[in-house]
Chains A and B, each alone.
Chain A
Amino acid sequence: KQEVTQIPAALSVPEGENLVLNCSFTDSAIYNLQWFRQDPGKGLTSLLLIQSSQREQTSGRLNASLDKSSGRSTLYIAASQPGDSATYLCAVFESGGGADGLTFGKGTHLIIQP
């Protein structure tokens, strides 16, 4: 059964710093990996999707990488801002057996200090 782990569980950094969030998964038979953002009490907002054949995707100050063979992904946030404070969730959409939906990590709770 697929397991997705996110490290660290929480992170607090001063505004302006560059930071990296980590995600690992146990079964490399995935269609894609997605990064989401969730604000308190709200739904999820899709940030980036990396297909299994891709190595990275970029959107503005965000860059996500995927190393499928080692079961790892990173989300790089450049020049962090207080508005980036949220919980960041990593999820994989897998091609193996079992339910055909996303398997999520438990998230990294990020606080950017002004």
Chain B
Amino acid sequence: DVKVTQSSRYLVKRTGEKVFLECVQDMDHENMFWYRQDPGLGLRLIYFSYDVKMKEKGDIPEGYSVSREKKERFSLILESASTNQTSMYLCASSLGTSRYSDTQYFGPGTRLTVL
């Protein structure tokens, strides 16, 4: 079974702090994604990566950056956390062989609160 793990289930940070959210997948997937989920807005794509050291902006990249130094690990970075970044953050990965048939597998999520 595919396993996608996220470093923390719950995180509380202060405004202005630099925050790192880590995601690791164990199935040698090429593609990795970061989404945030907010009530009334649903899930929205922040960044994605199709390969090591490669990144592409999603729909809402402002205030975020990402890092993919190794294939299995994709980090989301909040350079200076703000209260409007309080959200549930979900990481996903997919095999990368076919855009038609690739299922995305999700991690358990990190609920981030910025005070």
What are 7 pairs between A and B in contact, CB < 8 Å? A34-B104, A42-B108, A51-B100, A95-B99, A100-B50, A102-B104, A104-B42
Q: Is B101 within 8 A of A107, CB to CB? A: no
Q: Is B48 within 8 A of A100, CB to CB? A: yes
Give the B interface residue count (CB, 8 A): 29
Q: Is B105 within 8 A of A46, CB to CB? A: yes
Report the nearest A residue to B34, measured CB to CB. Answer: A101
Question: Could you tell me which B residues sit within 8 Å of A by CB distance?
Answer: 4, 33, 35, 40-45, 48, 50, 56-59, 90, 92, 99-109, 111
- Complex A-B, nearest 5 residue pairs according to Cβ-Cβ distance, in ascending order: A101-B45, A44-B106, A43-B106, A104-B43, A99-B58
Residues in A neighbouring B42, C-beta threshold 8 A: 89, 104-107
Range of interface residues on chain A?
20 to 34
